[in-house]
Structure 1
Amino acid sequence: MTVILVTGSAGLIGSESVRFFCDKGYTVVGIDNNMRETFFGKGASTEWNRDRLLEKYGEKYIHHSIDIRDQEAVSNLFNTYNKDISLIIHTAAQPSHDWAASDPHTDFTVNANGTLVLLENTRNICPDAVFIFCSTNKVYGDSPNYLPLIEQEFRWEIDENHQYNQGIDESMSIDQCKHSLFGVSKVAADLLVQEYGRYFGIKTASFRGGCLTGPSHSGAELHGFLSYLMKCTMLGKPYKIYGYKGKQVRDNIHSYDLVNAFDHFYQNPRVAEVYNIGGSRFSNCSMLEAILHCEAITDKKLHWVYEETNRIGDHIWWISDIQKFKNHYPEWNLTYGIKEILKEIYTQNVSRWV
């Protein structure tokens, strides 16, 4: 039996991973104790997604409600499946840089210590397994904000002659900048994943994502940009924009496209790789542009207010250069653009939200 182990398995990327690999015939073991509800409140609970997976996949999906920081529980789980574990997809995290400042200890122990627990068990119990980590572009801190940006009507853009015009690649430094405490905890985890590759020879990869999105996101005010924006538009709830005139730009990658990239890496793994991954120039938008898309799809007007102060460490402009990953895995491609993503979020959640 080949086992795929997924942490954060009821979340956006975790649940997409469960579906993807169960549909391929694998047995998937999930770890998720619904800490997203602890972080962001009842509306961000992932229980609905967990129940949907259990109902659909039956014996193919085995769920464990344990904390990734619990060394004994995690070791018992790894020992249960032992060398049958062929792939670990680590998506569990505290994902908000705003929330991290309110409880730095929990943020760091979940993101950094939890990753260490998983890596140690991989090294000691199933060292031949592939280890994929959901990192973040926040490891680059606020360095992108010092790029030569130009203000346009609805967005900020980078100078067309700049080396990062097609997106920011892995050459950008992660040093000498402000990260937010969330960014620091993810940097620690990211470096651990790289080091377990280089030092112990484990097949690891850190995927530094921009905005990860899709219809299975339990969006909340502090995390889950497109999902929460669409929810507010549909329900007539007020939405708050923080700084940069609402022209801040994000690239957005659909959860399926990201997990499909994971699978390409799994099929032909490398050691201690780092990839910037996101929607690139193929799928990106500013906050104002996203609002216009949501209003057009729902035929409703969003009630939004503007807060002059931006979030600490927030990016003004981020588009990922994904060429390194495409060079390594040329058969992989993005399939969802920003409009297709938002339409799917709307159609698959209208019965649940309205």
Structure 2
Amino acid sequence: MTTAIITGSCGLIGSESVRFMVSQGFQVVGIDNNMRSYFLGEYASTDWNRKLLQEAHNHQYFHHNMDIRDRASVEKLFACFSTDIDLIIHTAAQPSHEWAEKDPHTDFTVNANGTLALLEATRLYCPNAVFIFTSTNKVYGDTPNSLPLQELETRWEIDPNHVYYQGIDERMSIDNSKHSLYGASKLAADILVQEYGKFFDMKTACFRGGCLTGPAHSGTELHGFLSYLMKCTITGTPYSIFGYKGKQVRDNIHSNDLVNAFYHFYQNPRCGEVYNIGGSRHSNCSVLEAITICETIANKKLDYTYVDNHRAGDHIWYISNVNKFRDHFPDWEYKYGLSDILKDIYHAQIDRLGL
């Protein structure tokens, strides 16, 4: 049976990848040791999602509680399935700017060294497999903040005549900017994925995501913007807006739309590719705009305060230009808009909270 190895298999994108690939007939080998709960607290635990995956797909999903930094264990696992592995989707990561400052060694070893261990295992045991990496728009550092932005009533925006109005594309420089330590460790991994593709002619791709979101997100204050915002709205938990008057803009892509993009790449792969991927102009909002939508869906007012201090390396405005990916894969389309995404998150939160 064709096998996919998925790291971070119980997280938002990992679990969406498991479900999608199982539906396509894959046997899925999942790697996830629930370090998200260590990074972000017990509410961020993905253990609930592991149980759901194992119950729903017990004949096609095989879970391994493994640390991706453990090179010997990773290579042993790859060796066991080497003749069947056709796809690796690498979503495991330390995902938080703030957490990276507390422990840069762990942040870097998880994000960079862990990625290297997986790439080398792929090269040694299944060099013809497709390797997909969930990178981040933070590889561009704070360079997007140098764009000529205009302050509107509810958001920062760029002039419609500007070259980046439709979104930031892959030509933006990754140099000479403040990335945050998290952004630097993810950039190191991003470069490794590109290099294994170009140097060893392996079928690798970096998907530099905007805000990745969806119903399976275990969102917290430090990671998972829309998920955490909806949770606070539903439960009455106080919410803090950090800087930029709450007008900072993000594009948001549903996890299913992203994994569908992965599948399109898998079907017609390239070597060492880079794609900016996100909600683009199709699905984006400021924090203030997201609050209004959440309040409407939940029929509740959010208890929020403004903190006049933005996060280091945070983007004021970021919308992804996905034209390169669309040019390469013209059959890929969005299924979810912003309202659809937030309704999905709302119903998932209600179920999970037992309300």
Give yes or no for TM over 0.5.
Answer: yes
Q: Which residue of 2 aligns with 1:307?
A: 307
Q: Offset at 1:342? A: 0.3
* Alpha-carbon distance between aligned partners in 2 of 1:331 and 1:248, rounded to the nearest angstrom: 31
Q: Secondary structure at the match of 1:181?
A: helix
1:250-295 superposed Cα distances (whole Å, 9 cap, x missing partner): 0000000000000000000000000000000000000000000000
1:265 aligns with 2:270: no
Q: Offset at 1:348? A: 2.0
Q: Which residue of 2 aligns with 1:107?
A: 107
Q: Which residue of 1 aligns with 2:298?
A: 298
* Alpha-carbon distance between aligned partners in 2 of 1:198 and 1:25, rounded to the nearest angstrom: 30
1:43-83 superposed Cα distances (whole Å, 9 cap, x missing partner): 00000001000000111000000000001110111011012
* Alpha-carbon distance between aligned partners in 1 of 2:137 and 2:62, rounded to the nearest angstrom: 31
Q: Which residue of 2 aligns with 1:349?
A: 349
* Alpha-carbon distance between aligned partners in 2 of 1:162 and 1:335, rounded to the nearest angstrom: 28
Q: Offset at 1:208? A: 0.1
1:231-262 superposed Cα distances (whole Å, 9 cap, x missing partner): 00000000011000000000000000000000
Q: Offset at 1:160? A: 1.2
**Aligned counterparts, 1:83-232, within 5 A:** 83-232=83-232
Q: Which residue of 1 aligns with 2:246?
A: 246
RMSD (Å) for aligned C-alpha atoms = 0.5
Q: Offset at 1:335? A: 1.3
Q: Which amino acid aligns with 1:227?
A: S
1:109-152 superposed Cα distances (whole Å, 9 cap, x missing partner): 00000000000000011000000000000000000000000000
* Alpha-carbon distance between aligned partners in 1 of 2:121 and 2:26, rounded to the nearest angstrom: 21
Q: Secondary structure at the match of 1:134?
A: strand
* Alpha-carbon distance between aligned partners in 2 of 1:65 and 1:275, rounded to the nearest angstrom: 30
Q: Which residue of 2 aligns with 1:45?
A: 45
Q: Secondary structure at the match of 1:95?
A: coil
Q: Which residue of 2 aligns with 1:280?
A: 280
1:34 aligns with 2:34: yes
Q: Give the gaps of 5 or more residues in structure 2.
A: none
Q: Offset at 1:349? A: 2.1
Q: Which residue of 1 aligns with 2:16?
A: 16
Q: Which residue of 1 aligns with 2:55?
A: 55
* Alpha-carbon distance between aligned partners in 1 of 2:3 and 2:19, rounded to the nearest angstrom: 14
Q: Secondary structure at the match of 2:83?
A: helix
* Alpha-carbon distance between aligned partners in 2 of 1:311 and 1:83, rounded to the nearest angstrom: 45
Q: Which residue of 1 aligns with 2:317?
A: 317
* Alpha-carbon distance between aligned partners in 2 of 1:203 and 1:41, rounded to the nearest angstrom: 35
Q: Offset at 1:23? A: 1.1
Q: Secondary structure at the match of 2:82?
A: helix
Size of the aligned set, in residue pairs, is 354
Q: Secondary structure at the match of 1:83?
A: coil
Q: Which amino acid aligns with 1:195?
A: E
Q: Offset at 1:352? A: 1.4
TM-score scaled by length of structure 2: 0.99
* Alpha-carbon distance between aligned partners in 2 of 1:269 and 1:25, rounded to the nearest angstrom: 19
Q: Offset at 1:155? A: 0.3
Q: Give the gaps of 5 or more residues in structure 1.
A: none
* Alpha-carbon distance between aligned partners in 2 of 1:22 and 1:50, rounded to the nearest angstrom: 15
Q: Which residue of 2 aligns with 1:66?
A: 66
Q: Offset at 1:350? A: 0.2
* Alpha-carbon distance between aligned partners in 2 of 1:301 and 1:83, rounded to the nearest angstrom: 54
* Alpha-carbon distance between aligned partners in 1 of 2:98 and 2:152, rounded to the nearest angstrom: 27
* Alpha-carbon distance between aligned partners in 2 of 1:35 and 1:50, rounded to the nearest angstrom: 13
* Alpha-carbon distance between aligned partners in 2 of 1:263 and 1:98, rounded to the nearest angstrom: 32
Q: Secondary structure at the match of 2:57?
A: helix
Q: Which residue of 1 aligns with 2:329?
A: 329
* Alpha-carbon distance between aligned partners in 1 of 2:26 and 2:88, rounded to the nearest angstrom: 13
* Alpha-carbon distance between aligned partners in 2 of 1:347 and 1:48, rounded to the nearest angstrom: 16
Q: Offset at 1:25? A: 1.4
